[in-house]
């Protein structure tokens, strides 16, 4: 599989359209799934995904197989989605608010066992955009704080704050749904 992809990548760098379409066919549905996590409008998600592919084709010569091609591509697609969100004026937390924040020592991600993955994803989608974004990047995509800061262009401190608040809200919402009755 990876050998096949490597060959495709080399052909794409040379600008072979067929190889580019083959690569698109291989990853488009997975990348569309990722894009839909960030952009609710499916048409918007599709456009962002396709734009992301075009950008990836331009950057292919700098791709190194330290990470899987899928992970590399996913980052570009997510970046593209965030660019779209930013154009829609994504809210960010002001610095002043950070000082007013009561430090939440809760670093645990232990939640009630009955909670399903699907339920968590659905609840995250209900959160305000800024918390939703950081939670998705941290929890679902598995990026660390410096990666999130790089993707969102937010200071690490801000993304940590968003994550903490996001997690609090997630717990509360899940509690309301009676899944976290004990908390």
Partner 1 sequence: MKQNIRNLFKQEVLQKKKLPDSHREGFLEKLTASKKKRKRITMLYKYAAIFSILFSIGFVVTNLFSKENNATDTALEIQLREIEKTYLENIDKEWQSFIVLTKDEKLIKRYEDKLGELNEGYQEISSQYKIDKNNMIVIEALIENLKTRLQLLQDIQQHINLLNKEHENTTI
- Eight-class DSSP state of 102: P
The single residue among 13, 90, 93, 115 that binds partner 1, judged by CB under 8 A, is 115
**Residue 176 interacts with partner 1 (CB under 8 A): yes or no:** no
Return the number of other C-beta atoms located less than 10 Å from residue 48's C-beta: 27
**Who contacts 98 (Cβ-Cβ below 8 Å, separation ≥6)?**
157, 158, 161
Most distant CA atoms of the chain, gap in Å: 59
CB of 88 to partner 1, least distance (A): 21
Among 40, 87, 109, 178, binds partner 1 (CB under 8 A): 109
Q: For residues 55, 57, 62 and 67, what is the CA-based torsion angle, rounded to 10 degrees?
A: 90
Distance in Å, CB of 111 to partner 1, minimum: 5
3-state secondary structure at position 163: helix
181 binds partner 1 (CB under 8 A): no
Residue 168 within binding range of partner 1, rule CB under 8 A: no
- Find the shortest distance in angstroms from Cβ 97 to partner 1: 26
Report the residue from 44, 63, 70, 147 that binds partner 1 according to the rule CB under 8 A.
70
- Does residue 17 bind partner 1 (CB under 8 A)? yes
Write b or e for each residue in 146-156: b if 16 or more Cβ atoms lie within 10 A of its Cβ, otherwise e.
Answer: eebbebbebee
Instruction: Tell me which of 13, 93, 120, 173 binds partner 1, using CB under 8 A.
Output: 120
Only segment of 32-40, 76-84, 125-133, 151-159 that touches partner 1 (CB under 8 A): 32-40
Q: Is 173 in the site for partner 1 (CB under 8 A)?
A: no
* CA torsion, ordered 126, 129, 132, 134, to nearest 10 deg: 180
Q: How far apart are CA 24 and CA 66, in angstroms?
A: 21
**CB of 40 within 8 A of CB of 19?**
no
Binding segment toward partner 1, per CB under 8 A, in 3-11, 24-32, 91-99, 151-159: 24-32
Q: Where do contacts with partner 1 occur on this chain (CB under 8 A)?
A: 15, 17, 20-21, 24-25, 28-30, 32-33, 36, 42, 46, 50-51, 53-54, 57-58, 70, 108-115, 117, 120, 139-140, 142
């Amino acid at each position: 599989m990876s050998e096949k992809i490597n060959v495709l990548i080399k052909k794409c760098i040379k600008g072979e359209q067929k190889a580019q379409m083959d690569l698109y066919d291989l990853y488009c549905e997975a990348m569309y799934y990722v894009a839909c996590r960030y952009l609710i409008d499916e048409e918007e998600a599709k456009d962002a995904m396709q734009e992301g592919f075009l950008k990836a084709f331009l950057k292919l010569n700098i791709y190194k197989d330290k990470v899987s091609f899928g992970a590399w591509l996913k980052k570009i697609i997510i970046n593209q989605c965030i660019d779209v969100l930013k154009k829609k004026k994504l809210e960010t937390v002001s610095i002043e608010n950070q000082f007013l924040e009561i430090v939440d020592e809760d670093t645990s991600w232990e939640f009630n066992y009955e909670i399903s993955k699907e339920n968590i994803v659905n609840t995250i989608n209900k959160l305000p955009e800024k918390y939703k974004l950081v939670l998705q990047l941290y929890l679902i995509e598995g990026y660390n704080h410096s990666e999130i800061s790089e993707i969102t262009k937010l200071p690490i401190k801000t993304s940590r704050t968003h994550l903490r608040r996001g997690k609090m809200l997630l717990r509360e919402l899940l509690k309301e749904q009676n899944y976290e009755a004990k908390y």
